[in-house]
Amino acid sequence: MEQDQAADSRATRPPADPRDQQRNVIRVLVLAQVLGGIGAGATLSLGALLAAELSGSSAWSGMAATMATLGAAAAAVPLATLAQRRGRSVSLSTGAVVAGSGALLAITAASLSLFPLLLAALVLLGVGSATGLQARFAATDLASDATRGRSLAVVVWSTTIGAVLGPNLFEPGEVVAGILGIPALSGGFVFSAAAQVGAALLYRLGLRPDPLLAALRLRVGERAVDGPGVESTPAKRRGLAILVHTPAARYAVVSIAVAHAAMVSLMAMTPVHLHDHGAGLSVVGLTISLHVAGMYALSPVFGWIADRAGTTRGILCGQLLLLAALLTAWRGAESEAMVTVSLILLGLGWSACIVSASALLAGAVGVTERAPAQGSSDLLMNLAGATGGALAGPALVLFGYAGLGLVAAVPVAVVLGWTLTRLVAARRRVPLAA
């Protein structure tokens, strides 16, 4: 009898308020992103030094960022597919575990002095970056149209904490390495592994109910009440096919990819340019730190702009900032102060574009197609970044830093024109062209 009453109580209990679920999702994602950011920060800083040490040449130090970027690109679609089938909790926790395994493999590679093994470890560590990127989309699954940008932006902002802490693990890492009897440069990866394990536990245990699965259930319930809608047939298309047939999603993804390529190409060459012109390490470090702050610190502001003014206007704001950054680099290439200003503007422009375009993408496709589209977006974003970074070196040699700024400005200007066309078409109430 008591069991029957308990079952009746559960059956008649009102469903959980999506707003309460969303608040819990944001809390979990923010905490997990702080931990995941520690791992990402350690990967780029410690990974570059360890690559130079194990290879015997500083020329190989750039392979840390390259391999991590390739790992992030390779994991984007599989993680999105897993999210669509099993939910965000399983997908994100799996990505964090893989990244944690990469940290342990990096320690092993350092202990055995095996450079190829370190490269494999860096690929696995790059999966942590893919996980962090997809966490921002998890923040939008249960968000309303009015709060989607801010929800996403808060999660992006939380990466700042870990990204700042990660590169500062040199000295504590050396202490831990001495205790464990492992190479000094690998000690920081102990913190990275522990942080990724903590993030995995938060994702797995904290995302209950799972936001994407909850959103899918809500959508099924709406169709049952309102009748068949635009999503009455379960989605079978892959991510790239979704982008081809959805103009707004395609525009969002191109905006993300171009912004990321422009940011990576100029940022990657700035330390080289400053060093070649006699700037000290303190100037280089300050410039990059201010750039990273620009990338993340004001993301909630850009999320608010996207929600209040519209995502396309938010993207416009980002593209104007990017263009200002690249033109500043062109005109002020010989001035340390102007280069620093250009890097700050570059970070701000990247943030505005990524937040607004990601929010647009999340709203442009139905919930049944959301994860595949987002996975394809992250794949193209990472490939664009890797391409921009790879081409930046030859462009610097051929055209100089000023010329690099102009070259990177061209695709940004093209997307800016596309954005203005969309805004004009929307004002005239003309259907936007594909």
pLDDT tens sequence across 15-50: 456 677 888 999 999 999 888 877 666 666 677 778
pLDDT over 70 for what percent of the chain?
84
Least-confidence region, from 57-61, 288-292, 312-316? 57-61
Question: Which tokens belong to 412?
Answer: 């940004």
pLDDT of residue 55: 83
Residue 277 pLDDT level (bands cut at 50, 70, 90): confident
Question: Which tokens belong to 254?
Answer: 């191109």
Nearest of 31, 202, 198 to residue 103 by alpha carbon? 198
pLDDT of residue 303: 93
* In the predicted structure, residue 5 carries a pLDDT above the cut 60: no
pLDDT of residue 44: 64
Least-confidence region, from 44-53, 217-226, 292-301, 422-431? 217-226
pLDDT of residue 323: 97
pLDDT of residue 415: 96
Question: Which tokens belong to 129?
Answer: 């970056």
For helices 115-138 and 367-427, the axis angle rounded to 10 degrees is 70
Residue with the two structure tokens 């999603």: 249
| Mean pLDDT score of the chain | 84
**Total Cβ atoms within 10 A of residue 204:** 17
* In the predicted structure, residue 357 carries a pLDDT above the cut 50: yes
Three-class SS of residue 77?
helix
Nearest of 212, 240, 205 to residue 86 by alpha carbon? 212
Three-class SS of residue 293?
helix
What is the C-alpha to C-alpha distance for residues 148 and 142, in angstroms, rounded to an integer? 9
CATH architecture for residues 18-226: Up-down Bundle (1.20)
In the CATH scheme, what is the homologous superfamily, with its name and number, of domain 239-427? MFS general substrate transporter like domains (1.20.1250.20)
What is the C-alpha to C-alpha distance for residues 361 and 418, in angstroms, rounded to an integer? 16
pLDDT of residue 58: 64
What is the C-alpha to C-alpha distance for residues 181 and 174, in angstroms, rounded to an integer? 10
pLDDT of residue 220: 58
What is the C-alpha to C-alpha distance for residues 69 and 332, in angstroms, rounded to an integer? 29
Contact 290, 344 (CB under 8 A): yes
Q: Which residue did the predictor score with more confidence, 287 or 39?
A: 287
State phi, psi for 86 to the nearest 5 degrees. Answer: -120, -10
Q: Please report the DSSP string for 30-76 in residue order.
A: HHHHHHHHHHHHHHHHHHHHHHHHHHT-GGGTTHHHHHHHHHHHHHH
Contact 336, 328 (CB under 8 A): no
Contact 147, 25 (CB under 8 A): no
Least-confidence region, from 34-38, 195-199, 407-411? 34-38
Measured in residues, the chain has a length of 434
- Any alpha helices (H) in 297-366, and if so which ranges? 299-309, 311-331, 336-364
pLDDT of residue 312: 95
Residue 12 pLDDT level (bands cut at 50, 70, 90): very low
Kindly state the helix (H) or strand (E) to which residue 118 belongs, with its residue range: helix 115-138
Residue 267 pLDDT level (bands cut at 50, 70, 90): confident
Written as one letter, the residue type at 172 is P
pLDDT of residue 6: 46
Three-class SS of residue 366?
coil
Q: Which residue did the predictor score with more confidence, 63 or 103?
A: 103
Domain(s) labelled CATH 1.20.1250.20 in the chain stretch across: 18-226, 239-427
pTM tops 0.75: yes
pLDDT of residue 224: 41
| Mean per-residue pLDDT, 342-347 | 94
